[in-house]
Structure 1
Amino acid sequence: MPLSLAYSADFPSFADTVFILPAGTLELPISAAADLPQPIRQYVSDQLAAGEKLICVNQYTHHHYYVVAEEKKTADLQAESLRRAGHKLHAQLKADKVPELFINDLTPNGALALAEGIALTAYQFEGYKTDEKSKKQPDLQLLTLVGPELSTEKVQELNGVLQGVYLARNLVNMPYSHLNATQLANQIEAAGAEAGFNTEILDFVRIEALRMGGLLAVNQGSPEPPTFTIMEYKPEGATNAKPYVLVGKGVVFDTGGLSLKPTPNSMDLMKCDMAGAAVVTGVLTALAKNKVPLHVIGLVPATDNRPGGPALAPSDVITMYSGLTVEVLNTDAEGRLILADALAFAKKYDPELVLDYATLTGSAARAIGIEGIVCMGTADEQVLTELKQAGNRTHERLVEFPLWDEYADHIKSSVADITNLGKAEAGAISAGKFLERFIEGYPWVHFDIAGPAFLTAPDSYRGKGGTGTAVRLTYDFLKRKA
């Protein structure tokens, strides 16, 4: 069972409780020490005076924890420090086998960030273990938030966002043996039925009838058919006349095709190559669960990329859904081919804005590592500024790359309209420049999440494996548009 969140106007005596103390606190406030004997109060005050940021007191019947908020340059960084404090606190909660924790916020607004850090740390992929001993459920099941700035609505909104992140992480962590293109579409359909958005799944016949040449070409070497999933969340009272469209790359496993990837340390991680699709599904789930009054559409082209049978070959020329021809120089640059079909398809909705998400290039990961997301696009500065602000608030930070006209030279072809591979330099940008050729009549932003989408080692509350990165960022951006 995933961790749940609740709100309460007060907290009971003798409950496992964490108190969030303001930055610079040197002495324990009376409100955080009502049931502590004087020697223990003095101990906590001494620890505060010594600069400790996490203090634990075992009262045997219950525990008290004290987290001191840190002074940071911005409110966004203060919130991030509390998320990270939540990660550290979770380790102690796990050791103490705490089933329910009350979070009593004595700062202006810290409980949500601390709870977010605890909850994201508490995530675990249930996987496919059959040994009952290894399937033990975690002790911590409920976080109850207390504070004058809180409400049931605020706490449940965070809970809805966390459910979206959990879902995205689960999808990324599922192996190809349990998540081919058809199974991904079915998972999305189930998520929609549970959260409250509609789903339509286009099968091979309909994809072929639409002449989605990019998706069909990447799928040529696979024994499994492709899918194209359309999600739509359109609540009554939606405030936008034109929909926001989210597009997610759904390569459920990427061998590189005939341009075969090396293994280990490359191909063995490629179950995560559908992380863009997971982002879109997670965002639609969070929006629907929280009943955000916004019309949003999600598009997920999905296939695996295999070298079998009549697989796409380097130097092949294919015709895309838009009608453009592409010379395929490398079959491992396949994500942009399926995204391009979906981006061209998005035009039919006359969208307000299109956002796409993809683990697209190693170039993006090499440029900024796992610490941020590369973005670029044709949307105006106001949109990009709002996205960057959302990224700062959620600490899913954006680094904007240029799409200067000169980069179009990187994808020139002598036999087709464009190639699917640029130069060795600026690889993330030439991939974005490729996608730009399929944008028509709407503003667009591309997010290359190759760095942070899947981590090979634990990183604070993001954990190891699928992170669900960009779900919180996108939700934060969109909810402010409602």
Structure 2
Amino acid sequence: MSLTLAHATTTPAQATQVFVLPLGTTALPAPAATDLPAEARAYVDGALAAGQKFVVLNHFSHQHYFVVLEEKRSADLTLEALRQAGHQLYAALKKEKTAEVFIQNLTSTTDAARTLAEGLFLSAYQFAGYKTDEKSREAAPLTTITLVGEAATEAQVKELQNLLEGVVFARDLVNAPLNKLNAQQLAERLAEAGDAAGYTTDILDLAKIESLRMGGLLAVNLGSPEPPTFSILEWKPEGAKNERPYVLVGKGVVYDTGGLSLKPTPNSMDMMKCDMAGGAAVGGTLYALAKNNVPLHVIGLVPATDNRPGGLAYVPGDVLTMFSGLTVEVKNTDAEGRLLLADALSFAKKYNPELVIDLATLTGAAVRAVGTEAAAVMGTAEADTTAQLLAAAHRVHERLVEFPLWDDYADHMKSDIADLSNLGKGDAGHISAAKFLERFIEGTPWLHLDIAGPAFLTAPDSYRGKGGTGMGVRLLYEFLTKQLA
């Protein structure tokens, strides 16, 4: 995807322009009307007076677009309406085959133009795919989004570009099929991104994983013809503000058949290339942090394998010894993500972290609870930390719904022959899965994000698009950068 955000002090003549107008605007402000003839101005004034929030003025050689701030229940929802307007704007620009657009902010909401540009940029995303017929490839004429004057500073434009590139990186990973992105290739892509952005990557191979006795990761990998990987991404800039690192853990199941507890098809298995969306989000976040030289020490852990029923595949009834030393009775091989995460969470403790956050497309229960509109969150972090993450989620509209992690749910994961079972009861499956994970991160502040709903969409949804959404990158970036305040 080659779309550039830029900054300019002025707008050239005959350029396609977008003006973000204040709430309740019923007539054009002077700065938005300086080059308009009286008839054109009267037309726009009439549309604004009629309450239109998105007005188009076509000069044939170029266009003017006017976007009016909408009154919502909160400032966060007002910004989300601007992202949605960015999606509407992209459709109009695509129709006109516009290559460059200039955005000005005429409101007192300082980040209005940047938010509109964010929605526009994300709407323009297209997965490159593997089509060989040039005629079948959809043209993407938009190449440059320029923010003009006080709409943003050059530094803000650069920061937004790098953040959105992190989202695009995560989306590309999620959209790639298994035969283009196995565990080794995922690790290599994460390392390549690190080379480009500035974070370091250490890829643990099968021999190292075996020496560490990561029983969960190794068990899930038994049915695969390809070895697992465990990627350690680290961004540790000089002058980092935190003495103890933040650790992000992402589930990296590059494809999930369910193992011997085979998933039904085509309703479930055909989209299981997305089961590494947590790992992709970790990679995208580290990319954005490093590219923007954010002064925080952050570590990303991505255990990766596919889950298949071949060879010596693990079976229901097996008992695993995990990296932590705890034993787990396997009741269902399709509850594999928690086994990878358990090893990674135990491994994370060695860093004495300030906070651990894991992201995983973990349970169908989370989807049934909150749909694709939000992710489930629960954990052991302080209430204030959780509140900060929830606030960040609302700001970027990657919303979270908090669920309890009461001790009662531990009973769901009991086993007669091992310390834990990997499968709980039929109810509250997203909570019992988190309760399972809690045993491996005890004593460390931790939050678990079950992103199974919003990580991958089977139908287009505004600027989130179709397929991989990059869920988690903007959220974690917003949350972590606010820790500098």
Q: 1:302 aligns with which of 304, 311, 317?
A: 304
SS of equivalent residue, structure 2 residue 296: coil
Within 2, Cα distance between the matches of 1:328 and 1:461? 40
User: Contact 2:104–2:151 (CA<8 Å) still a contact in 1?
Assistant: no
Once the two structures are superposed, residues 62-108 of structure 1 have per-residue CA deviations (whole angstroms, 9 ceiling, x without a partner) of 21111111011211111000000010111000001110000011112
Residue 16 of structure 1 corresponds to which residue in structure 2?
Answer: 16
1:215 alignment partner in structure 2:
217
SS in 1 for 2:440: coil
| Matches of 1:405 and 1:146, distance apart in 2 | 54
Could you say which residue in structure 1 is the equivalent of 2:72? 72
Q: Considering only aligned residues, what root-mean-square deviation do their CA atoms show, in Å?
A: 0.9
Q: Report the AA paired with residue 393 of structure 1.
A: R
Residue 13 of structure 1 deviates from its aligned partner by 2.4
- Residues 408-446 of structure 1: CA distance to partner in whole angstroms, max 9, x if unpaired? 000000000000000000000000000000013320000
- Residue 2 of structure 2 aligns with which residue? 2
Q: What is aligned with 2:285?
A: 283
The separation in 1 between residues aligned to 2:375 and 2:138, in whole angstroms, is 35
Give the whole-Å Cα distance in 2 for the aligned partners of 1:27 and 1:274. Answer: 49
Mapping of 1:25-424 within 5 angstroms? 25-108=25-108, 109=110, 110-135=112-137, 137-148=139-150, 150-424=152-426
- The separation in 1 between residues aligned to 2:64 and 2:397, in whole angstroms, is 28
Cα distance between partner residues in 2 of 1:378 and 1:264 = 37
In the other structure, the counterpart of 2:427 is: 425
Report the CA distance between 1:137 and its aligned residue: 4.3
Q: Provide, for residues 216-235 of structure 1, a one-character-per-residue CA deviation record: whole Å limited to 9, x for no partner.
A: 00000000100000000011
- Cα distance in 1 between the residues matched to 2:213 and 2:433: 22
Out of 188-197 and 128-137, give the one that drifted further.
Answer: 128-137
C-alpha separation in 1, matches of 2:74 and 2:10: 29
| 8 Å CA contact 1:394, 1:473 repeated in 2 | yes
Q: Take 2:270 and 2:2, find their aligned partners in 1: how far apart are those partners?
A: 27
Structure 1 segments, 4+ long, off by >3 Å, are: none
Per the alignment, in what secondary structure is the counterpart of residue 386 of structure 1?
A: helix
User: Distance between the aligned counterparts of 1:458 and 1:355, measured in 2?
Assistant: 28
- CA distance in 2 between partners of 1:103 and 1:261 (Å): 48
**TM-score, normalised on structure 2?**
0.98
Q: How many residues align?
A: 482
Amino acid at match of 2:142: L
CA contact (8 A) 1:16 1:63 kept: yes
Deviates more, 1:55-64 or 1:121-130: 55-64
SS state of the match for residue 473, structure 1?
helix
Tell me the CA shift for residue 136 of structure 1: 5.2
Letter matched to residue 6 of structure 2: A
Between 434-443 and 243-252, report the one with greater CA deviation: 434-443
Structure 2 residue matching 1:224: 3-state secondary structure: coil
Runs of 5+ consecutive residues of structure 1 not aligned to the other structure: none
Q: Percent identity?
A: 65
Shift of 1:50: 1.1
Alpha-carbon displacement from aligned partner over 1:216-266 (angstroms, at most 9, x marks no partner):
000000001000000000111111101000000000000000000000120
Could you tell me how far 1:49 is from its partner in structure 2? Answer: 1.0
Q: Is the 8 A contact 1:250 1:302 kept in 2?
A: yes
TM-score (norm 1): 0.99
Determine helix, strand or coil for the equivalent of 1:148: helix
Deviation at 1:149, TM superposition (A): 5.3
User: In the alignment, is the contact (CA less than 8 A) between 1:357 and 1:446 conserved in 2?
Assistant: yes
Deviations 1:277-318 (A, max 9, x none): 000000000001111000000000000000011111001111
d(CA) in 2 for partners of 1:35, 1:148: 20
- Is the CA contact 1:376–1:402 (under 8 Å) kept in the aligned structure 2? yes
Q: CA shift at 1:60, angstroms? A: 2.2
Matches of 2:36 and 2:320, distance apart in 1: 73
Q: AA paired with 1:11?
A: T
Aligned equivalents of 1:249, 1:150: Cα separation in 2: 36
SS at match of 2:35: coil
Structure 1 residue 36: Cα displacement: 1.3
